Amino acid sequence: MSNPTSSLFISDLHLTPERPLPVRLFLRFIIEVAQNAQSLTILGDFFEAWVGDDNLAEAFNQDIASALNSLAARGVKVFFLPGNRDFLVGPTFAKAAGLTLLPDPTQIDLYGIATLLAHGDQFCTDDDAYQAFRRQVRDPVWQQQFLAQPLPQRLALATALRERSEHAKAGKKPEIMDVNADAIRSALETHPVSRIIHGHTHRPARHEISVHGKTVERWVLPDWYESGGYLACDERGCRLLSFA
């Protein structure tokens, strides 16, 4: 059980009806852990895909929104920072889920420690093809054109994009899909923080970086494909915890 004064961070659950284990884990996590926390922040790729808030009408998505809203009803603050799978989450879903949307990245004061929150894909700059795709789909004009298409067409396109992504990843070296050290240092020049928390790479760990003689810790969140995991932070610091 979490400390009621702790802040929790999760990412990369990739929730979808086709993959029931992460869904069951998340619903248990809400009841057994998150409802006892001060806040829960989701750092992207919460859904396997999100093609627009009009898809909230699907029963599965309504159930997930309701689960999150149950936290808000208990006084737990819920925040959502989009990932590369769910960057189209908008105000309709946010209202239904009782959460606050955050831009990527977002700098916060976390128990007195300046902390940068990000999904993490922007740091993977060695993957040129992915970064080109990211720039395309984050463009407001592209998003407007995409959302103007009928929902079934958007769902079909999202499926095709996921299949293309998985095929492309199979041919890439693993290190290309990890963060680039210079990209992290560049972020720290813009945001002079003492801590970074992100997901995306599915490589949970704590790293230390030295920038201008200052030590910065970088926490990477786990995915939820086979078991769950989260970062819990309080006045004493942060720790990665498993949830199986």
Domain boundaries, the chain: 7-243
Written as six digits, the tokens of 163 are 């299949």
Report the 10 Å Cβ neighbour count for 175. Answer: 9
Q: What is the CATH number of domain 7-243?
A: 3.60.21.50
Closest CA to 199 of 68, 46, 64: 46
Write out the chain's pLDDT in tens, 244 residues. 556 679 999 999 999 999 999 999 999 999 999 999 999 999 999 999 999 999 999 999 999 999 999 999 999 999 999 999 999 999 999 999 999 999 999 999 999 999 999 999 999 999 998 999 999 999 999 999 999 999 999 999 999 988 887 777 666 777 788 999 999 999 999 999 999 999 999 999 999 999 888 999 999 999 999 999 999 999 999 999 999 8
Q: Supply the pTM of this predicted model.
A: 0.94
